[in-house]
Amino acid sequence: MIDDGTELFTIGELARSTGLTVRTIRYWSDEGVLTPVTRSAGGYRLYDAESAARLELIRTLRELGLGLDAVRRVLAGETTVAQVAAAHVSALDAQISSLKVTRAVLSTVARRGSTAEEMTLMNKLARLSAAERRRIVEEFVAEVFDGLDTADPDIRTRLRFHAAHLPDDPTPEQVDAWVELAELIQDPEFRALMRAMVEFNAADRGPEVPAGTSLWFMSRLIQLAGQALREGTAPDSPEADGVLRGLLGDADRAAVLDRLTAAANVRVARYRELSAVLNGLEPAAGYEREFAWVVAALRAHPDR
């Protein structure tokens, strides 16, 4: 309060009462968000009690991350605190999403020991727009199924679902999974492997075979092989040949062996793991022991 007894304060007095620095208050005053009510005979800026309350509002808005332009509009009555807060929340959401992507990329780089070139690629993949990510997935599905009209439509649906888009609010693990999955589904060798699996399926089916048959076959395989494992049936035993007959009937065992070998590929298993992470699901059981038993039995009994 100045010496004439009026309720006016200098910048120094405001600084002492609020804990802000003189430099900060002077800057805000220079920027027009804290206008002095008058000046002293010596030319010093003076503020009243309303200015002190205004200063607290300015500090709060600044601590919440609002820029001076937004603060100025609130103080001028051009917008409300609620409206500014809502806009700031949207901006913060975008920043948080970007930071999550940055963290995931850097974590992956650190874990893999990536080169600068690999880091650049990962960063590019992680920051693709939703439309660009969708294009990559659709190109992958189109190439895998091109011309294979007899393939089980359930497989096409599941494949598109597995290669899910990155969620709008992804976890670091999901960003990491998307980066790896995007690299995988753009790899020509992996696309060829997946196409071979679909070709096996298309060759097994005719127009009269209902959708979902392939999934039924896999379920039956897991069931019978699991039972054989529990009973201790050796893959090269005569009993194993009987299990194969019950599972395959008259099917070409060499073709089935090729199909199962492709399905059990470690890269296909990794694809499924990454897909589960992206979809927020628990990784599906791989049934490695069951598949390995059937593969070993097929090798031991190639002919009926």
pLDDT digits (tens, 9 = 90+) for 243-291: 888 877 777 777 777 777 766 667 777 888 888 888 787 766 667 788 7
pLDDT digits (tens, 9 = 90+) for 75-124: 888 888 888 888 888 888 777 777 777 777 777 777 777 777 777 777 77
pLDDT of residue 163: 58
Dihedral angle of Cα 139, 142, 143, 146, to the nearest 10 degrees: -160
The answer to whether residue 123 is domain-embedded is: no
pLDDT of residue 151: 60
Q: Which is higher by pLDDT, 302 or 167?
A: 302
Please report which confidence band the pLDDT of residue 22 belongs to, taking 50, 70 and 90 as the band edges. Answer: very high
Whether residues 176 and 275 share a domain: the answer is: yes
Q: Are 9 and 46 in contact (CB under 8 A)?
A: yes
pLDDT at residue 27 above 90?
Answer: yes
User: Domain range for residue 36?
Assistant: 11-76
Q: Could you write out the three-class secondary structure of the chain?
A: CCCCCCCCECHHHHHHHHCCCHHHHHHHHHCCCCCCCEECCCCCEEECHHHHHHHHHHHHHHHCCCCHHHHHHHHCCCCCHHHHHHHHHHHHHHHHHHHHHHHHHHHHHHHHCCCHHHHHHHHHHHCCCHHHHHHHHHHHHHHHHCCCCCCCHHHHHHHHHHCCCCCCCCCHHHHHHHHHHHHHHCCHHHHHHHHHHHHHHHHHCCCCCCCCHHHHHHHHHHHHHHHHHHCCCCCCCHHHHHHHHHHHCCCCHHHHHHHHHHHCCHHHHHHHHHHHHHCCCCCCCCCHHHHHHHHHHHHHCCCC
Q: Which two tokens stand for residue 287?
A: 């049934």
Mean pLDDT calculated for residue range 150-167: 61
Whether residues 113 and 156 share a domain: the answer is: no
The answer to whether residue 90 is domain-embedded is: yes
- Mean confidence (pLDDT) of the chain: 78
Whether residues 100 and 185 share a domain: the answer is: no
Scored b (16 or more CB within 10 A) or e, 55-79 reads beebbebbeeebeeebbbbbbeeee
Whether residues 109 and 135 share a domain: the answer is: no
Whether residues 201 and 230 share a domain: the answer is: yes
Whether residues 86 and 139 share a domain: the answer is: no
Whether residues 113 and 133 share a domain: the answer is: no
Whether residues 110 and 230 share a domain: the answer is: no
pLDDT at residue 153 above 50?
Answer: yes
CA–CA distance, 78 with 247 (Å, rounded to integer): 75
CA–CA distance, 87 with 123 (Å, rounded to integer): 27
The answer to whether residue 61 is domain-embedded is: yes
Whether residues 34 and 168 share a domain: the answer is: no
Q: What is the pTM of this model?
A: 0.51
The answer to whether residue 167 is domain-embedded is: yes
Whether residues 96 and 62 share a domain: the answer is: no
**Across the strands, what pairs with 9?**
47
Mean pLDDT calculated for residue range 53-72: 88
The answer to whether residue 164 is domain-embedded is: yes
Whether residues 138 and 240 share a domain: the answer is: yes
The answer to whether residue 124 is domain-embedded is: no
The answer to whether residue 5 is domain-embedded is: no
Domain count for the chain, please give it: 3
Whether residues 66 and 209 share a domain: the answer is: no
The answer to whether residue 240 is domain-embedded is: yes
pLDDT of residue 160: 57
Question: For the domain that residue 15 is a member of, what is the CATH number?
Answer: 1.10.1660.10
